[in-house]
Amino acid sequence: LPPGAAHISKIVSSGFGFNACPTSMDGSRKKVLAARELFIKFGATCITPLALDATKCVDPDCNMSIQQLLDLAATEGDSNLKKIKKFPQESFDRILLDPPCSALGLRPKLFIECASLHELQKHATYQQKFAKNAAKLLRVGGTMSYSTCTINPEENEAMVRYILDEYPSLKSIPIGSDIGLPGLEGAGLTEEVRHNVRRFEPHGDCDTMGFFIALFRKVESHQPTTKLSQSGT
């Protein structure tokens, strides 16, 4: 990694984190503490785990670097977690966006929590909030991956379409691997973008759980074109 590069390893349920700046974030304090133990076990001492809400983690008025924020941040009681809840815009070179999803690709799948199409659509609407913050935090020239462990097109191909439409500064780029399948036809993606993303089916030849990956590069600073969608499509 280039000196001083700032990376977010994961934006999940409600959070982030990395220093050097790798940062691993999650809204669940319990998960963050468990992740920290895992980092220590594997000697990943460069990673800074943070408990924060990744749907509300952008501070447009902050002009400090990530390293400055980490150096100056106080810690939380016995947990010793740094008390950082927001970051300046365009301060990260790499973002791995892995938001909460319907998890329909997991196997074995012993039960389905979503009882209706409306409940499935709510996942996509929630994911848009994570995408909004990630798009703002990513530097021009930086890359952002988007991934889920579901086979639901509303949370996969439709989310890629949403990101490209809502944030023209983000462009779809190839992942660089032919493993898996291209995106679904008829789900709103051009042929080029459909072959840039990778879809894995739980019943496919790769013998994996179902999941989805897309990769974006930020080519310029840009503001959203519309208000946050209520439908998720």
pLDDT digits (tens, 9 = 90+) for 73-118: 999 888 888 899 999 999 999 999 999 999 999 887 666 776 678 8
Query: CA nearest 65: which of 132, 119, 1, 3?
Result: 3
Instruction: Provide the whole-model pTM.
Output: 0.83
Instruction: Write down the pLDDT at residue 86.
Output: 93
Helix then strand then coil, % of the chain, to nearest 5: 25, 25, 50
Q: Which residues are catalytic?
A: 149
Find tokens 């503001």 and name the residue.
Answer: 223
Query: CA nearest 122: which of 107, 151, 100, 98?
Result: 100
% the chain with pLDDT above 90: 53
Residues of the chain with pLDDT under 70: 1-27, 109-111, 114-115, 222-233
Bond prior to 21 in cis (omega within 30° of 0): yes
